[in-house]
A and B are shown apart, each in its own frame.
Chain A
Amino acid sequence: MKRFITAIAFAALGMVPIVHAAPSGTFRQAHEVGFGNASDVDPISKGRVFAITEKIMNRLVRPGIDGKPAPDLAVSWSSNAAATEWTFKLRENVKFHNGKAFSSADAMYSLKRVLDPKIASPARGTVSMIKEVEAPDAKTLKLILIAPFADMPLVLTDYRLMMVPDGSGDTIKNTGIGTGPFKIEKLDPQGTTVLVANNDYFDGPPGVAKMEIIGIPDEQARFQALMGKQIDLMQGITRQQRQLLERSGSFSLNDIPTGNWRGIVFRTDTKPWDDPRVRRAVRMAVDRKAMVDLAAGGAGVIGCDTPVGPKDQYRSAKTCAQDIAGAKALLAEAGYPNGIDLELPVSTLQDVWPAMAEAFQQQVAPAGFRVKISQVPSDGYFNEIWMKRPVSMTRWNDRPADTSLNEVYRSTAKWNESFFKDAKFDALLDAARAELNFDKRRAKYIEAQEYLWVNSGTLVGFHATVITATTGRVKNFDLVENMGIRWHKITVD
């Protein structure tokens, strides 16, 4: 009987709804100070430290845990039938850290700042389809676009499109006043930035009372800080580091597939890569599974040269095996029966590049590609080598499907690294953008990706899987790509 009562008591305890406890404890995280002295907390500046802005500010739309757009400061949205006008209903009762209420004027100001050519924000290209921003009333925001765009909400999930108070452009880089779950107590991007819980946060008080965002430029030093439990989170540790942490047993380790990809790009405006058959042949000759195993210890997801991430709703599921005979045939057809010599410049800017290059060299050799690997400095790689040499290593960070297809492959894109100019591909993208029916739109985006597999000049080796380590005391940490993490849900013991 006694045992029975105890059992009931335990069961009852288990059923008690989880009451929101007051924020408690400190969560510590390091960032790499990639922007040095230019580091600030203006979300659209060249030196934005997103490890801080993502915790103090909100977007209109955020990437949901399922990968689809989810409400943030906008609660719902709709468009006209042509997908050229979008209306966003904004959240009620949201306050900035300075007490001012958030309204459409702030949202309009924040987006117009990004579009301002004088500010020349790196985020400007992301929202280039916006022609006009309007605020019909205090809780409604209207976007008028240059051309139809069915996935406008997805675009607004970009981590830089944070909402700041109307007119705060000159001060935001130092104040960091946003609507987010944490407020800045002390800002020092190169030292330790201290954030405190915003108890008025619209989704309830956050789980931890304090966050310390510590600038540690050296990768090894960051890892040592994690080992000594001076920080609670490190994203992107190596396989070797993982083994060390596993042995200690007091860390939680997770593989998180991301949309970050590593590849090799062939300029389609230079010989011999101007012939689609040649660039297809070199990509066909690659064994992608072996490449990801060799270069990243298997920590990656392979596909058929699509830049769209493995978790994206528009990802093409196509797979492609190594095809040496097919590659040879294509080469002969294109007029290169004796093969092709090429030089591949490699730097250590990305840790997997050298191993990737060597795997590539071995794999494509039987098809007749004689690859000469040359070492180049990491410093200034993107200015001296990338988009300059006929062949070079490349890397891209996570972007929504439409953004990566547009930024990397559209004829007019400034980052069109393979100089891929194809009117048919552009038309496919336009058609997808104008399609409001999800299934039909998805079919069009997949068609565009498969078109790339046949024609593009970009070898997408794999999408990197990030190993994330947290100390054992961290709970409720979302196991998703960084930009989708709900920082206010985290608690610490």
Chain B
Amino acid sequence: MFKLLLRRILLGGLTVAIVSLIIFGAVEMLPGDACTALLRQDAQGDTLRVCREELGLDKPATSRYLDWMAGAVKGDFGLTAHRNKEVSELVGDRLKNSLLLGLCALALGVPLAFALGIAAALKRDRWLDLIVSSLAIAAMTIPEFVSATLLILVFSGWLSWLPGIVTASANAPVSAFFPQIILPVVVLAMVMTAHILRTVRSSMLEVLDSDYVRMATLKGVPYRRMILRHVLPNALLPAINVVALTVAWLLGGVVVIETVFNYPGLGRLMVGAISDRDLGLVQAIALIVSTVYVLVNLSADILSLLANPRLRTSLGRSH
């Protein structure tokens, strides 16, 4: 078990390093650099040369990447491309905000997904199941920016119940994000709920159709007891992995949501950093997102190992 963990962590570290190299290469390949992005039509002659010297862009790409790596290993992400802010400070606030958004969406979406998924499976092919399943498919297929825009139009434009756009500053206290955060949370939770719900429903159905449940029914186990003791524990295990994948998706999915709602999180920062050609900042964000991705997947695997005796013992036997 420990050996497996160690190997997974090392592999994760390698993944993160490769991701940073790919991101650096990709942004470097885009036309223009931090100076041309800033100066636009002014990017000529002396103005451009002075700017590039100031920002150290006159050095070759490889030496800039190695400098960045050397700093990053020590936990020093350096300054933004325009040398006026600490990357760590900038990223810190946004990370907190993205986590806030993600956690609120999880808190709303996960219980809802499980409740609806279980209910739909128990009432299979009845009207409740039909409604829940078709809503889930709708939520999955409508792109987030469309549902976001529609919600803003209805709740902010027509009804004036909720603010449509987040205007709180990145370093504002958590309380400043309410009620502005409600619409983005709802949109995020909608898509997430749909994905988890469908997994929960299908894995419930699989278990309900299994031989041992039929056996239990024939032996006269009371319905409630059968569902709680025999069906749920077996059906919910696969859902853990789906929740983990969804959390990882949240980190990428928030880019669109954060842009549409002007939410000051990592996603919006990333979009801005790419169009500013701010390599250091892009790298730091990519590092965070890929690290979280690796960690979430790792912990999901460990959780399923712990929760599933069969996986646990088969693992023990192989050692």
Residues on A lying within 8 angstroms of B by beta carbon are 28, 33, 35-38, 40, 46-47, 117, 120, 122, 186, 188, 190-192, 212, 214, 216-218, 220-221, 224-225, 227-230, 248, 377, 379-380, 382-384, 386, 414-415
Contact = CB atoms under 8 A, between A and B. Distances in A.
Contact of B42 (A46, A229, A380): A46
B44 A38 contact: no
Contacts of A384: 31-32
Interface in B117-139: none
Contacts of B156: 224, 227-228, 230
Contacts of A40: 84
Interface of B: 30-32, 36-47, 50-51, 80-82, 84-85, 90, 149, 152-153, 156-157, 160, 163-165, 167-172, 259-262, 264, 268, 271-273, 275-276, 278, 281
Contacts of A28: 167
Contact of B260 (A220, A228, A383): A220
A379 B31 contact: yes
B272 A188 contact: no
Given A37-B90, A220-B149, A230 B167 contact: yes
Contacts of A414: 44-45
5 contacts: A36-B37, A38-B84, A120-B51, A216-B165, A227-B157
A117 B47 CA distance: 9
A472 to B, nearest CB: 13
A38 B38 contact: yes
Contact of A379 (B45, B46, B149, B275): B275
B47 A120 contact: yes
B275 A37 contact: no
Contacts of A46: 38-39, 42, 51
A40 B84 CA distance: 10
Contact of A37 (B149, B261, B281): B281
Contacts of A35: 38, 276
Given A230-B165, A382-B36, A224 B149 contact: yes
Contacts of A221: 165, 259-262
Nearest to B268: A217
B39 A218 contact: no
Which A-B residue pairs are the 10 nearest by beta carbons? A191-B169, A380-B31, A228-B156, A380-B32, A228-B164, A36-B276, A38-B82, A225-B165, A227-B157, A122-B42
Given A40-B84, A216-B262, A220-B149, A225 B281 contact: no
Contacts of A415: 41, 44
Given A46-B38, A384-B31, A120 B46 contact: yes
A192 B169 CA distance: 6
Contacts of B271: 217
A38 B172 CA distance: 20
A191 B84 contact: no
A340 B106 CA distance: 62
Given A217-B268, A380-B32, A37 B164 contact: no
Contact of A190 (B163, B264, B275): B264
A225 B262 CA distance: 9
Contacts of A33: 272
A383 B152 contact: no
Contacts of B168: 191-192
Contacts of B164: 224-225, 227-228, 230
A37 B42 contact: no
A349 to B, nearest CB: 10
Given A37-B273, A230-B165, A230-B167, 18 more contacts: A33-B272, A37-B82, A46-B38, A120-B46, A186-B169, A188-B170, A190-B170, A191-B167, A191-B169, A216-B262, A221-B165, A221-B260, A227-B157, A227-B164, A228-B160, A379-B32, A379-B275, A383-B36
A36 B275 contact: yes
Given A36-B278, A120-B50, A225 B84 contact: no
A469 to B, nearest CB: 14
Given A46-B39, A188-B169, A212-B167, A228 B152 contact: yes
A225 B32 contact: no
Contacts of A38: 38, 81-82, 84, 276
Contact of A191 (B81, B172, B259): B172
Contacts of A192: 167-169
A227 B154 CA distance: 10
B146 to A, nearest CB: 11
A248 B47 CA distance: 47
A217 B264 CA distance: 11
A384 B33 CA distance: 12
A190 B93 CA distance: 13
Contacts of B85: 37
A228 B164 CA distance: 6
A37 B80 contact: yes
B20 to A, nearest CB: 20
B40 A382 contact: yes
Contacts of B272: 33, 36-37, 190, 217
Nearest to B274: A379
Given A36-B278, A379-B275, A122 B39 contact: yes
